[in-house]
Amino acid sequence: MAIESVGVVGAGQMGNGIAHVFALAGFDVLLNDISEDSLAKALVTIDKNMDRQVSRGKITAEEKAAAQARIRTTLALPDLGQTDLIIEAATEREEVKQKIFDALLPHLKPSTILTSNTSSISITRLASRTDRPEKFMGFHFMNPVPVMQLVELIRGIATDQPTWDAMHEVVRKLGKTAASAEDFPAFIVNRILIPMINEAVYTLYEGVGSVKSIDESMKLGANHPMGPLELADFIGLDTCLAIMNVLYEGLADTKYRPCPLLTKYVEAGWLGRKSGRGFYDYRGETPVPTR
């Protein structure tokens, strides 16, 4: 399974990062979104992030130019059908992902591998809706994609060994490290990380500490580079809530019950950095705690 061309569905925070690292690794990338504006913003973001890598000596200006030349964009989802590998990086809602795969199926090459960058949804269930569950895998990048070294590889119940081997080789070519995860809700990283964030929100909800004291405690007391509430804002509170709901529904254990305060923030549209407010208010020069 020689993989040379890659289709990326979704040009948001994860999608543009995935396109970035694949282009730098020598793959031809076709980036898709439903919005021309989103595609234009993605190219600007990729340009800025590659500039940062050039300034730090991580890549040369020539490598940047060559990588950017490998990235094309399209509004037409069927255009991705002739690529060797497709990575779905749309919003973390199962019905959205299923519609994308349904729309792709009539246009795929027989050999095309389908993957999802989902951070929590069942790979087996997503794969079962396609015509190639044996060529379907979870391919979960960490955010920000150009910086983080880990990729979770999640095998569905039907995933065959050649597909697994091909994806493992792709991760190696990207210069990243693959972690093998079984297909259980939220896999490894988010199974551990998001409940920790949810517990931090409960700590705030119950008045045990303020936003500032909770984040400082974990940064200085546990040597975390970011506090859990700051990290939640970075990830997106809607994404954190979606993953907690997947854990709660998938494992039927009350320890995964989303904190009511997390739900309330999402209902208010305070989703973190991307919306300007979350556990911190980002609308001024420096972030200010909102509680």
99 is in an annotated binding site: no
Number of H-type helices and E-type strands within the chain: 11, 10
- Which residue among 119, 120, 122, 198 is the active-site one? 119
Residue type, 189: V
119 is in an annotated binding site: yes
135 is in an annotated binding site: no
Residue type, 206: E
What residues contact 251, with CB distance under 8 A and at least 6 apart? 184, 185
143 is in an annotated binding site: yes
Let me know the angle formed at the C-alpha of 247 by 244 and 253, rounded to the nearest 5 degrees: 110
Residue 169 annotated to the active site: no
- Which residue among 16, 49, 140, 230 is the active-site one? 140
111 is in an annotated binding site: no
Query: Can you name the residues that pair with 280 across neighbouring β-strands?
Result: 289
- Which residue among 49, 122, 190, 198 is the active-site one? 190
16 is in an annotated binding site: no
13 is in an annotated binding site: yes
11 is in an annotated binding site: yes
Cis peptide bond prior to 106, omega within 30° of 0: no
28 is in an annotated binding site: no
Length of the chain: 291
Query: Can you name the residues that pair with 138 across neighbouring β-strands?
Result: 116, 154
Let me know the angle formed at the C-alpha of 76 by 75 and 81, rounded to the nearest 5 degrees: 130
Residue 140 annotated to the active site: yes
The DSSP H or E segment spanning 113 is: strand 113-116
- Which residue among 32, 88, 116, 152 is the active-site one? 152
- Is the C-alpha dihedral spanning 79, 19, 173, 183 positive or negative? negative
207 is in an annotated binding site: no
41 is in an annotated binding site: no
Annotated binding site: 10-15, 33, 92, 97, 119, 143, 274
Q: Looking at the annotation, which residues are catalytic?
A: 119, 140, 152, 190
